[in-house]
Each structure stands twice: as structure tokens, then as C-alpha cells.
A and B are shown apart, each in its own frame.
Chain A
Amino acid sequence: MKILPTILGTALILLAVTTVLPVAKAEETITLMSHDSFNISKEVIEIFEKENNVTVRFLKAGDAGAALIQAILSKKNPLADVFFGVDNSFMSRALDAEIFVPYASPLLSNIPNHLKLDKLNRLLPVDYGDVCLNYDKAWFKKHTLAPPKELSDLIKPEYKGLTVVENPATSSPGMAFLLATIGRFGKDGYLNFWTELRQNNVLVANGWEDAYYGHFTSASKGDRPIVVSYGSSPAAAIYYSEKTLSEAPTAAVIGDGSAFRQIEFIGILKGTDKPELAKKLVDFMLDIPFQEDIPLQMFVYPANSKANLPELFTNHAVVAEKPVIVTPTAIEKNRNKWIEEWTNTVLR
């Protein structure tokens, strides 16, 4: 039994040390709150830290929806100075909650207009990516079947039981894909598409991880060669491969009206006591060094059109020419209704 006091003692010391240590650093800090998928290179953030003689503190708060709610809930006493990761599907909710202050960054001039959805510049676009179908190239080759070219292919009889999608009620790409079908088939027609897709034996997973690593033939022992993922996923599959690949094992379907464009925004939180520094951080995140860091860290496209894309992206990632457009206000207004209708059509 003597070991127990030792363990407990050590643990208490550890606890004390971990609690006290952060306090010991008295340097100026600025806090960036984001969802879990946020990523940045060490040397890139160091540029900002050195220039401004400041330490950037990062906070991650769950998926995009959960992070935003926590920012809203804490608006009286904000957790951070800057928030990154509101996307166009949650944009209206964020703006309605009035948690961001406007900032017309000079770097906005380098960002194409179609990405700037908030005319008051409370939320500034940082990156974008397309949610679309991915398919397993080897599988279609082996079964001598033509891969899908657009959404309506999925309800053809030869595609029966080939698709796995995510549940829009629990997954952000799932929601984006639902929006894609709404944009493509219209508010009145999209349920017919889903009815037929259900008859065609579509599989619904609750999250992207489960769909991709649980059911997609290219990434798991599953039996679904078509999955809802991102236009950049084939590039990521090359980048994160055990062996060097010259060609991606998967391909993205970005035919007209087949993809939903997710745009991610950054904003300065109301109540920050470092507004000038916060502006500098926003500028930094719209500027070239970070914008060029985005593709290989987060596998989405930089919003700044001056940023150069890595070779991996120019060769293997794709952007839709005519993605589906649904306005943030329409999304926020109808979200519950659409999800409810979708749930009734596909799951019950």
C-alpha cells in the first residue's frame, strides 16, 4: 500500500505544477478560440508572435457548432479575443447573437467578393472548401462501373447500396451535403431525391470519421465506395499516405450543382480588451504566410487570391466551378425544418 501515497503525492504535485505554471508566464498574450480542426504551422505563428512581441494562446472548443455556442454563451465575459471557424451555415446564428465587432481589414481587397458574405465585415472569410462526393477509384475500376458525375447519378439502380452520407443533425459535412441537395433540387424537390436515395439503400453515418474510416471502401474494410467528404480529400489521402503515391486513390465529384461551398470566417469578439492586437491577428490570418499555410494544415483553400497553392493542391485537389449557393439567412431560418424533414424522409 505504500505505493498509493507516492502516486497520490506525485499526482497532486503534477496538478499543482500544471495549474500554476501558466500563471508564471507574465508575457502579453492574445487568445484565439476555434473548433478542433484548426491548425497552423509553428514557424508561421512565430512570425506573428515575434513581430508583436506577444504569445498566442489557443483554445479549442469542440466541433464548429459547439465552439460557436460556447462563444455565444460566454459573450458577457468572453473566453478569447478572436474567434475562428464560423462557417456559412452557422453565420447567421453568430451574427444574430451579436458577438463580433466589425473590422474592415485592408487585406479584404485580396479576397474575392463572392466569399465576403457579411457586408458589415463582422466576419471575414479565411478559407473555403467544397463538400462533395468522393469515390474509390480502384473499386469502380474493378467493378467496371462508371463513377458518379453528379448528384442524380446516386439514385440510379446500378448505384444501389454504394453511398454513405453523414447525418445533417450531427455532422457538419452532412449538413453541407443536405444543403447541396437543397440547392440542386430546390426546396420542393430535394425530399424526392432523398426518398429515392433511401430506396437506393443509402447508408447514413452520424459523423465524418465514421463514414470515411468506418464505411468507405478506400479507407476501411467497409462496403461503400462513395462517401460525402471534401474536394481536397484526395489530396489529403496522398499527403497522409504510408507509401508515396503518384495518383490519389480517391476522386472528388464537383460537377455543376454537386458541391456545397463551406466558407470559414474569423471575427473579433466583442468585449476584447486588446482590440488593436486582435485586428493585427485578423490581418495576419488573412495575409500570405498564414494563407499559404492553410492548404497543408487544414486541407481547405485560402481565401486570399494572392496566396500560392502547393503543388499537391494544384495537382490533386479540386474546386467546383459552380457550387451550390444557399444564403446564410435562408439556412438559419430553415435549418430545423430541413433537418426535421430530412430525418422523417431518410431515417423513419
Chain B
Amino acid sequence: MRNGRIQFSVNFLKTNFGSNRWLLLSLPLLFLALFYFYPLIKIVFMSFAPEGVWEPERLRQLISSDNYFRVLRFTFWQATLSTLLTLALALPGAYIFAHFNFPGKNMLQALMTVPFVLPTVVTAAAFRALLGSGGLVNSWLITALDLSIPPIRIDQTVAFFLLAHIFYNYSLVLRIVAGYWSSLDPDIREAAGMLGASPWQTFKKITLPLLVPAITSAAVLVFIFCFTSFGVILILGGPGYATIEVEIYRQAVQFFNLPMAAALSLIQILINFLLMWLHARIGSKNRVGFFSTAIGGTPKKVKGFLQKSFLLANLLFMVILLLAPLSALLLRSFIGEHGFTLAYYSSLFTTHSRSVFFVPPINAVLNSVGFGLAAMCIAVTLGLFASTYLASAKGRSVPFWDAVIMLPLATSAVTLGFGYIITLNTPPLNLRDSLALVPIAHGLVAFPFVVRCILPGIRQIPQTLKEAATLLGSSPLQVWRYIDLPLTSRPIMVGAIFAFSISMGEFGASSFVTRPHTPTMPVAIFRFLSQPGDLNYGQAMAMSTILMLVTASGFWLLGRIADNR
């Protein structure tokens, strides 16, 4: 981060940075107050008393029916299971990415972030094309084993949405943990080896405990993501399963039971807040300081049979989990009723829809990228401020603020969207139908991600380095610019990537007012899928493929830049 990128905040900080750290937190808090707490509190109050009267009867069911308890239990259960499975599968991958160089690494890493931006409907289509009853694997098995019915029946099962949760979150865990892992001092591992610890013992007793900050950071994100899962459960799980988030939507939109929706939102927020507060407390207590002089590490070449086969097994897994559904999607966009066709793409670009809302696909791409970059700026700026504060501040309030920052992630999009409608309606904040609301809302959701990516990194920087810089004449701001920032450039990059992809994949149609003339790629995909006809379906797949391509090439480019730095 050089020259004037955040000029406004720099000037703002110049005089006060050292004496009052609070100012660091004030920008993120101001943002949260305006675009999160104010709308949320207002909608909750309004929901509990829609006509100015408090109607407790509408909440009675909350206690009298065991349905809500069931929903809560299911939400907890699936989030825990999804998180554990994702961690177990992604840790070996993180090891590989942290320690080895192999051809195509950057490309694979770029591709792996693609699931993050895919709308749920498209993910469902991809998995069904692969594993559905008429999908690739089943038809292959039917011919191979001469069966009459498809052997794999995964639709509307627990396995299906767990698979989707892993698909979505794998790269998140991999990136956060790998980034941190590669900065661990290799001497520590070797020291354990020299003291007689086998590689497995070293991993169990030394590496794993040291990775805890990064792993819990990633785990908390995955957990909240799955806890508030909406589309994945709705589409892949089918109507037999409902998370709190799904229930909130049902209560608000179908039953118009706003008190119940508000109560459920509060319960969801409260549970996640407690969880994150606990995580932050534990995290700040066993704050371990270790530091590799070669931060970022120097990845090695793969040597030996064991390493090679471990690497291959993991890469194979990634390919099967991530690339197979994506390729199924890609194939589907080229195959019509009568075999190979380019019709879906050509119609995407030449269609002469008379609709006033029609925009050429390239505009949807530009809209998505523009919103994504703006949201990334907001999230990274806020994330940097908040992380710097959290890393340097001491005391009991730190875990509290840490958890507060995470709240936007745990909040029902429907509830917050409704909150915007009733609050951001007077100048100068007459934003509820403004285009600016899109990057603001996306930035709000991406901001906690950025903090979770950067914070473990900043906390790791030894105090002595900063002291050294101070004694060499750096102002606190310069210390931050020349020490903190360069040493955390990797985590910042990871945070920026995720902020960008969250925005690229965000489809808030059910909760936010949209301006139909500036659709993003996911919105364009949904438009195709809302009417019957194979051309619509094909165009949706073609648009999804373009979304994949744009995302992957963007990240590939970012990766190249980061490596050549």
C-alpha cells in the first residue's frame, strides 16, 4: 500500500494515531453504526411493534412449538459438521500450498476461489450435472454396472448440502491456513525433530497448536457461513431442512410475521456473537508470538515418493471436489438438445431482446467487477483499520469489539435489507435505492472476512520490529506503513480476494432493492432461470461460465502480481 491510496484516512490519522488508538476503530465503527446497527435496531423495534403496539402473542409459538428448537438444533448441527469436514479436508491442501511449489499452483489457486462466487442455483446445477440421478457419474455407473436405477441418490439429502458447503468453503480454509502456515518458522519444526519427535508427533504437538489462530479464524468464518446458510439449504437440502435463516425468510415474507422474524434474527445474532466473543477471548489470551525471518517462506520443490504421492492425492481431491462440478457446468453451456452448440453464447451476445432491462453480458460483467472492486476497497480499508486496532489494543474490551465486527456476517440478509428500507431514507443518507448501497452492503459482509484474514498476521509481527522502526525515527503511522503493511501483504491480498469474490457472487435480490438497469452477473443468471425454455437454461450456464472465467482470471492475475512482487 503506497502513495495516497487511502489519503483521506491517512490525513485523518496523521495527528492522532499514536496518542489515541480509538480513532483507528472509529471509522469501522461509524460505518457499522450507520449501515448496520441503526437499520438493524430500527427494524427489530418496528417488527416487534408493527403498529406501535407490542404484540407478544405473535411470539408465543416461539416457546410453545418445538419447531423452532428443532430448527435451531439442525442449524447448529449442520454448521458444526460442515465446518469440521471442511477443516479436515482442507488442512492437507493448506500444507501443500504452504510448503511446495508445483506447476499450475497459481492457476489452481485461482480456480479454487471460483465456487465462492457461484450462485447456489448454479452450484446445484453443477453438482446435479455430475452426481444427479441423470448426471454424469450415474449414467456412467448405469452403463458400466448394467443397473436399472441410478445408484447415487444425493438430491435433497444431508450429504448434498454438506458437499456444497465444503465446495464453497474449502478454498477459504485453504487460503487462510496456508498463508499463515507458510509464515511459521521452519526452525521450530526442525527443533522438534531434533528432539526426537517424528513428523506426525511434530505436527500434533507443535505445528497444529501453532496453527490454532489461523484454523480457528477460518473455522469461525466457515461456521457462521454455514450457520446462516440460506440458498444451499433451500435448494440442495430441499424443504425437509430449514436453518434459522430460511425460517426468518419464511416468517417474514410468507407469513408476514415480522415479530417472529425479528426474534429469530436476534437469536441468530446472539448465538453467533457469543461464539465469536468466546473465540476472540481465547484467541487473545494464548497470543503466541513466533515469527519467521523469511516471512512467506520459500516453498520447496517436491522431492521423494511420499511427498509426491501426498501431493498428488490432494491435488486429485481438489480436482474432483472443485473442478469436476465446474467442468460439468462448462460442458453444459456448450451442449444443447442436439449436441455441441455455441448457440447459448452467441445468443447471449446477439440476442435482440426488446426488454427495457436487457443489458449486454459485457455490461453485467462490468457492473459485477465495478461493484466488486468498490466493495473490496471498502472492506479492505475498514478491515485494515479494525485489525490494526485489535492487534495493538489491550484489555477486556478487545474480544468484545472483535466479536462486534463479525456481526454483519451473522445477520439475516432479509432482516438487514428491510432495515435499510426504513432507515436510509432521508438525505444525506437517502441510499435505499441508490447504486452505492450495493458496494456498501457487499463491503459490510466482506469486512469481517478481511479482518479474520489480516488479524492473525498482524498479531504475529514481533513488537520489537515495530520498536526498532520507532527508534529509527518512524512515526506510528510510518511504522504501520513500512512494517505492518508490507509484512501482512499476503493476508491483505487474501482478504481482498475474498472481499472481491463475496461481492461478485452476492445475489441479494430477496432482500435488497435493486436497480434493474445495472444487473450483476448473478442477477443476469437468475433472470434467465426465471422462465422456461432450454435457451434460457443454456444462457444461464453460459453466463455462469463467463462468471467463472472472469473470477478465475482476475485471481490468477492477482496471484501473478503477488508472486512477482
Contacts and interface: CB of A to CB of B under 8 A. Distances in A.
Please say whether the chains A and B touch (CB closer than 8 A). Answer: yes
Interface of A: 1-5, 7-12, 14-15, 18-19, 22, 31, 33, 36-37, 39-45, 58-63, 65-66, 69-70, 73-74, 77, 79, 93, 167-170, 175, 203-210, 212-215, 219-223, 229, 233, 236-243, 250, 297, 299, 335-336, 339, 343, 347
A242 B534 contact: yes
B204 interface: no
Given A236-B531, A242-B535, A62 B434 contact: no
A59 B433 contact: yes
Interface stretch (B267-275, B351-359, B446-454): B351-359
A69 B235 CA distance: 23
A9 B370 contact: no
B235 A214 contact: yes
Interface string B414-433: 10011001100110000011
Nearest to B121: A209
Given A11-B377, A221-B129, A241-B534, A335 B513 contact: no
B531 A242 contact: no
Interface stretch (B78-86, B316-324, B337-345, B543-551): B337-345
Interface stretch (B2-10, B184-192, B303-311): B2-10
A77 B239 contact: no
Contacts of A41: 354-356
Interface in B92-130: 121, 124-125, 128-129
B234 interface: yes
Contacts of A36: 509, 514, 526-527, 530
A45 B517 CA distance: 14
A39 B432 CA distance: 22
A114 B239 CA distance: 34
A-B pairs, 9 with minimum CB distance: A240-B533, A221-B134, A11-B373, A41-B354, A65-B253, A15-B374, A167-B239, A5-B5, A240-B535
Given A39-B355, A73-B46, A209-B529, A221 B536 contact: no
Given A70-B513, A335-B254, 16 more contacts: A7-B373, A8-B5, A9-B5, A15-B377, A18-B370, A36-B526, A58-B517, A63-B509, A66-B414, A74-B421, A74-B422, A77-B425, A237-B533, A240-B533, A240-B534, A242-B538
Given A1-B2, A39-B357, A233 B561 contact: no
B179 interface: no
A225 to B, nearest CB: 12
B383 interface: no
A215 B238 CA distance: 12
A299 B129 CA distance: 28
Interface of B: 1-5, 43, 46, 121, 124-125, 128-129, 132-135, 150, 155-156, 234-235, 238-240, 246, 249-250, 252-257, 336-338, 341, 343-344, 347, 354-358, 370, 373-374, 376-377, 380, 414, 417-418, 421-422, 425-426, 432-436, 439, 489, 496, 509-518, 526-527, 529-538, 561, 565
Contacts of B435: 18-19, 22
A219 B537 contact: yes
26 contacts: A5-B2, A8-B5, A8-B373, A8-B377, A15-B377, A18-B370, A36-B514, A42-B356, A45-B356, A58-B357, A60-B513, A62-B253, A63-B253, A73-B418, A169-B254, A204-B239, A209-B526, A209-B530, A212-B532, A214-B128, A221-B134, A221-B135, A223-B133, A233-B532, A241-B533, A242-B534
